[in-house]
Amino acid sequence: MFEWTLDAVDGRARAGRFNTPHGVLETPLFAPVGTQATVKAVTPDQLRDSRASLVLANTYHLYLRPGVEVIDQLGGLHAFMGWEAPILTDSGGYQVFSLADRRVIDQDGVTFRSHLDGSEHRFTPESVIATQEMLGADIIMAFDECPEPYDHAYNREALARTHAWAARCLAAKKRTDQALFGIVQGGIFPDLRQQSAEFIGGLEFPGNAIGGLSVGETKDEMYAILEIVDAALPQSRPRYLMGVGAPEDLVQGVLRGVDIFDCVLPTRMARNHTALTMAGRMNLHKVLYREDSRPLDPACSCYTCRNFTRAYLRHLCMAKEMLAGTLLSIHNIHTLISLMRQMRSAIVAGGVEAFSTEFLSTFRDHRPEDI
């Protein structure tokens, strides 16, 4: 269980396999986000058709509603949401620390008020592990603090808590059928990131995550941090870059040793009527798609591209039909997952650099209406 196999390495990029109780994850991979135990607007069948292998759910949201006891009572998160493939839950830390004036941090944990009804709750490393054990995901996350990225003094102080909490999470864990991943923090600061990657990578986590990125820093700052963390983390375990989903960042992340990504980007863009293609973003409101009989991406094999034209999708968007969000979500998820599968093939073939250069220039320089 939780065996990690490196099938190929090409530069810093890795093609791996991670065994979980609900199936083998082939990496690099992109995981769509099902915040409230549903990837918004799509069914589990549609997710499978989009070739999703791993889905993320948010512990903070499910803890508040419907409550983890309800999900436990109904057989755990897989049965509850009808997704029998691997699931990852976050620790709830990111959401709790985002509550700003609704939370108080101490050395032992965080006391916060629900964004739903103002009720008071407390998360500690131990409670967060217990909650995730009740949810029953295949991969669970350590409780960490995710601070603003630019304050060195505060990041140093928060990092001490994150490291202490990581060790407490490992000690609190009881179930053996869940992989607990540690999380590297440290803002945009090379010294803190180096220290954190060494500390977290030195603990007995079967996988390591990189948190606190894609939270306001520049892309160059993010890529620089990834290089430091990549060099410091053990090669012998998978790495998960949290909350990153822009196509160019997935590619840059894979080139810097990242194996797993998650983000709301493809589904949120879909609900805002933007399609992701290998040649850039496509705003479906544009009048030029009014009678365009082509699929979103002629090279794409998703349900949406197999069955519908740009003109029809534009009509659904203009008419504010729910089906627009569904069909664009299916396509956008499929696109990011296909991109990761193509990178995997390129890594195995030893051509990831050429593939990435080609993709990044097409994605930057072409217009989707020309493909």
Q: Which residues carry out catalysis? A: 90, 262
Please, what is the minimum distance in Å from the beta carbon of residue 69 to a copy of itself? 8
Q: Which of residues 53-72 bind a copy of itself (CB under 8 A)?
A: 61, 65-66, 70
Burial of 9 (0-12, 13-18, 19+ CB in 10 A): middle
CB of 296 vs a copy of itself, minimal distance in Å: 14
Counting every residue written for the chain, the total comes to 371
User: Which residue of 29, 31, 42, 183 would you call a contact of a copy of itself, by CB under 8 A?
Assistant: 42
Q: Does 289 bind a copy of itself (CB under 8 A)?
A: no
Is 316 an interacting residue with respect to a copy of itself (CB under 8 A)?
Answer: yes
Over 98-154, what HEC string results?
Answer: HCHHHEEECCCCEEEECCCCCCEEEECHHHHHHHHHHHCCCEEECCCCCCCCCCHHH
- Residue with the two structure tokens 């990029």: 13
CB of 95 to a copy of itself, least distance (A): 14
Half-sphere exposure for 166 (CA within 13 Å, toward CB): 28
**Least distance from C-beta 349 to a copy of itself, angstroms?**
35
171 binds a copy of itself (CB under 8 A): no
Helix (H) or strand (E) holding 71: helix 68-73
Q: Which is nearer to a copy of itself, 48 or 341 (CB)?
A: 48
Give the C-alpha separation, 156 to 104, whole Å: 18
Among the listed ranges 79-87, 97-105, 148-156, 191-199, the one in contact with a copy of itself (CB under 8 A) is 79-87
> Is the CB of 67 or the CB of 202 nearer to a copy of itself?
67
Q: Is 146:110 a contact under the CB 8 Å cutoff?
A: no
Interface ranges with a copy of itself (CB under 8 A): 36-38, 40-46, 61, 65-66, 70, 73-75, 80-82, 290-291, 293, 303, 307-309, 311-312, 314-316, 318-319, 321-323, 325-327
